């Protein structure tokens, strides 16, 4: 099973797309439909939010596949060394979450969006952007001298995955240095992921599914209806790089997620 979706309250499962509706104080429940295809829902988030501002993310899987109890967040996305799991075990009761951050303007191109959704479903590999990006203080002369092909598929402006820039990596290092340090070995493991940590989850690496809970501080008047087999996890999240560092004028509206089942054989 694989599902991917952007954060604009849209659910994608296979080749189908539908919109979620929500209520700030109520979660509806419907009888479970036999053989229903699991769908991954994102509860609404603010339409606009500043980078580095933590967002309360609720992921609801409906229905939860039989035997599944936990969700494994990407190791590289965890905000602190102390929140990393002591050991990562591929188990059949655990789903694997992956994330991909892309530029909103790039997703306005239908080909870019189709490709990003194919990547979310695991049907295609999308190039990852590499190298130095523009910063708020401007690029160095050396960076300006490097020619850039505007049609390069590795550029976030053309739909490639956004990677954290060097300036934001340095800021994140300073942020981490202000906190109490763990064992050096644990810190070294956590630091090794710094170039991949653009989507940051401020919670433990493994999350247990629980029944859906009411939303808070949401102005919607609608109701999100789940079956009685739906289960949810809470994953406070922030984005660690600024859109202007990617020459993105609209913002990072889309963060694409996908889920995969661990297949364990004897």
User: What are the residue ranges spanned by the domains of the chain?
Assistant: 4-261
The Cα–Cα gap between 118 and 27 comes to: 31
The Cα–Cα gap between 127 and 152 comes to: 10
pLDDT in tens, 108-149: 999 998 888 887 777 876 555 444 444 444 343 444 456 778
Residues 47 and 251 sit within 8 Å (Cβ to Cβ): no
pLDDT in tens, 207-220: 999 999 876 655 55
Q: Please report the pLDDT score of residue 162 as a whole number.
A: 92
pLDDT band at 259 (very low <50, low <70, confident <90, very high): confident
C-alpha separations of 31 from 213, 227, 229 in Å: 17, 5, 8
For the chain, the C-alpha Rg in angstroms (whole number) is 19
pLDDT value at 235 more than 90: yes
Average pLDDT of the residues in 42-49: 82
E-strand stretches of the chain: 4-5, 10-13, 16-19, 27-30, 39-42, 58-62, 70-72, 94-102, 199-201, 206-208, 224-227, 231-234, 237-239, 254-261
Q: Which of 56-60, 133-137, 248-252 has the lowest mean pLDDT?
A: 133-137
Average pLDDT of the residues in 18-32: 40
Q: Please report the pLDDT score of residue 223 as a whole number.
A: 60
pLDDT value at 70 more than 90: yes
Residues 118 and 265 sit within 8 Å (Cβ to Cβ): no
């Amino acid at each position: 099973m694989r599902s991917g979706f952007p954060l604009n309250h849209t659910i994608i499962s296979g080749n189908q797309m539908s919109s979620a509706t929500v209520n700030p104080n109520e979660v509806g429940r419907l009888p479970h439909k036999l053989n229903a295809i699991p769908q991954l829902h994102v509860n609404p988030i603010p339409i606009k939010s500043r980078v580095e501002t933590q967002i309360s993310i609720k992921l609801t899987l409906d229905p939860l596949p039989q035997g599944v109890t936990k969700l494994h967040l990407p190791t590289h996305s965890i905000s602190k060394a102390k929140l990393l799991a002591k050991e990562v075990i591929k188990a059949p009761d655990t789903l694997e979450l992956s994330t991909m951050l892309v530029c909103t303007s790039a997703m306005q191109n239908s080909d870019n969006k189709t490709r990003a959704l194919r990547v979310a479903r695991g049907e295609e590999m999308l190039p990852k952007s590499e190298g130095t990006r523009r910063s708020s203080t401007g690029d160095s002369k050396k960076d300006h001298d490097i020619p850039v092909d505007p049609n390069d598929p590795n550029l976030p402006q053309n739909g490639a995955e956004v990677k954290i820039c060097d300036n934001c990596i340095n800021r994140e290092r300073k942020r981490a240095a202000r906190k109490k340090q763990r064992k050096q070995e644990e810190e070294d493991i956590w630091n090794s992921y710094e170039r991949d940590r653009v989507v940051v989850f401020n919670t433990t690496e493994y999350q247990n599914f629980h029944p859906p809970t009411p939303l808070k501080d949401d102005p919607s008047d609608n109701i999100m209806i789940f079956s009685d087999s739906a289960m949810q996890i809470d994953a406070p999240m922030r984005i660690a790089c600024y859109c202007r560092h990617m020459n993105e004028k609209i913002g990072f509206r889309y963060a694409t997620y996908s889920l995969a089942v661990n297949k364990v054989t004897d």
